[in-house]
């Protein structure tokens, strides 16, 4: 367990990545009680410097000896590195909050969203898993409705930004858009494709396109990303009886994921009742005035901490159904912020 201190020594694994840089930004914004910060990454980032609270810090090369004297590890270095290095961090006495998929479905590792199951964070054995980005925003919106009317079934379609795939994917989309925009001939004939040599990070062109595949396909014809949403939602909400199906799509948006979610509840819940429940829910902002063109969009969720919910309406095809449109910044609430909120829970209960 975390020992009570005035300030804590914090290590960031994957410090130079998209989520790692968000860790730094959010720790500073929230005035997290840090005594020492240790930035860790692969050898490719050796000698890089990152700024935190106005000071430049050198990035160290991640090793099994990187955790001496550290209290809290915030990790977003990928599943393979988490599996390799986090056991060493636990042996060194650290509490680790891991943003990868490495431990999420481990029965001995709590999978935590503070607005949903905060108490689970207190029953760790050195590692706490941070859920997948699409799962986090979904359960923040769904949990209050589940408590009110018990959700029986969820049908989710996600529209996930390229930042969820990492910095290199962002750069690839930028380059593709730039090439297309510079080609007047392409625009004149309505031709928006790029040469194959500009497609390296994604399996297909992402600029001006949608890719209905995130992660690898499994034997059941669903992708790994889709099944993450299924299994993680059940674990976090503590209810294996919920029937869930998902389709995950990569869209040409830089930041913030959007989700169209249809739910069937045990008890009748009107759209008005759902709006009232969600308007009081922690971490949720209801934006739902279609007549004025007000509903959540990724552009306005970017850089914000909340989960935005709109287009709340009753499903006229079934008796107890609701439709929701859920949008959140995947690098903040969908990753770095949620992990830091977990660390804050640990500090509060130390």
Of 233, 56, 75, 208, nearest to 154 by C-alpha is: 233
Please name every residue paired with 304 in a beta bridge, in sequence order, or none if there are none.
none
User: Do 341 and 272 share a domain, yes or no?
Assistant: no
Q: Given this model, what pLDDT does residue 115 score?
A: 98
What letter would DSSP give residue 14? T
Q: What are phi and psi of 30, to 5 degrees?
A: -90, 5
pTM, rounded to two decimals: 0.96
User: Do 156 and 64 share a domain, yes or no?
Assistant: no
From residue 279, alpha-carbon distances to 134, 141, 312 in Å are: 21, 10, 12
Distance CA 252, CA 308 (A): 20
Active-site residue, 231 included: no
Within a domain: 204: no
Q: For the domain that residue 107 is a member of, what is the CATH number?
A: 3.40.50.720
Higher pLDDT, 43 or 113: 113
Of 226, 199, 227, nearest to 212 by C-alpha is: 226
User: Do 150 and 298 share a domain, yes or no?
Assistant: yes
Q: For the domain that residue 225 is a member of, what is the CATH number?
A: 3.30.360.10
Q: Given this model, what pLDDT does residue 190 score?
A: 64
pLDDT exceeds 70 at position 187: no
pLDDT exceeds 90 at position 24: yes
Catalytic site residue from 133, 146, 192, 231: 133
Catalytic site residue from 94, 124, 248, 257: 257
Q: Write down how long the chain is.
A: 350
Task: Tally the C-alpha atoms within 13 A of residue 144's C-alpha that lie toward its C-beta.
Answer: 21
Give the H or E element holding residue 232: helix 224-237
Within a domain: 167: no
pLDDT exceeds 80 at position 330: yes
Q: By percentage, how much of the chain surpasses pLDDT 90? A: 93
User: Do 55 and 139 share a domain, yes or no?
Assistant: no
Within a domain: 224: yes
Tokens of 87: 């056991």
Active-site residue, 133 included: yes
Q: What is the mean pLDDT of residues 103-113?
A: 98
Write out the residue range of the structural domain in which residue 260 sits: 135-161+210-330
CB 198 within 8 A of CB 172: yes
Q: What is the mean pLDDT of residues 243-256?
A: 98
Number of structural domains found in the chain: 2
């Amino acid at each position: 367990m975390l020992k009570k201190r005035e300030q804590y020594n914090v290590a960031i694994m994957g410090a130079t990545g998209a989520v790692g840089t968000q860790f730094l930004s959010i720790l500073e914004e929230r005035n997290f009680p840090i005594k020492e910060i240790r930035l860790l990454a692969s050898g490719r980032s050796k000698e890089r410097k990152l700024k935190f609270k106005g000071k430049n810090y050198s990035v160290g090369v991640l090793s099994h000896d990187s955790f001496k004297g550290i209290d809290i590890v915030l990790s977003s270095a990928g599943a393979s590195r988490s599996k390799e290095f986090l056991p060493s961090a636990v042996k060194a006495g650290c509490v680790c909050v891991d943003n990868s998929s490495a431990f999420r479905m481990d029965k001995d590792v709590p999978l935590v969203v503070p607005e949903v199951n905060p108490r689970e964070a207190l029953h760790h054995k050195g590692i706490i898993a941070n859920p997948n980005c699409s799962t986090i925003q979904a359960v923040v919106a769904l949990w209050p409705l589940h408590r009110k009317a018990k959700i029986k079934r969820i049908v989710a379609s996600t529209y996930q930004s390229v930042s969820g795939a990492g910095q290199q994917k962002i750069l690839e989309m930028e380059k593709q858009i730039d090439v297309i925009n510079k080609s007047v001939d392409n625009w004149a004939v309505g031709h928006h494709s790029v040469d194959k040599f500009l497609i390296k990070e994604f399996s297909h062109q992402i600029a001006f396109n949608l890719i209905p595949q995130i992660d690898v396909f499994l034997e059941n014809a669903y992708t790994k990303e889709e099944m993450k949403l299924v299994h993680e939602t059940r674990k976090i909400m503590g209810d294996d009886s919920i029937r869930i199906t998902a389709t995950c799509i990569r869209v040409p948006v830089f930041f913030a994921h959007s989700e169209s979610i249809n739910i069937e509840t045990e008890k009748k819940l009107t759209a008005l009742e759902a709006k009232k429940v969600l308007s009081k829910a922690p971490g949720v902002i209801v934006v739902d005035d279609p007549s004025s063109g007000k509903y959540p969009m990724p552009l306005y969720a970017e850089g914000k901490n909340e989960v935005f919910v709109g287009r709340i309406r009753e499903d006229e095809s079934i008796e107890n159904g609701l439709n929701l449109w859920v949008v959140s910044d995947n690098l903040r609430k969908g990753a770095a912020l949620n992990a830091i909120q977990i660390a804050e829970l640990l500090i509060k209960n130390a």
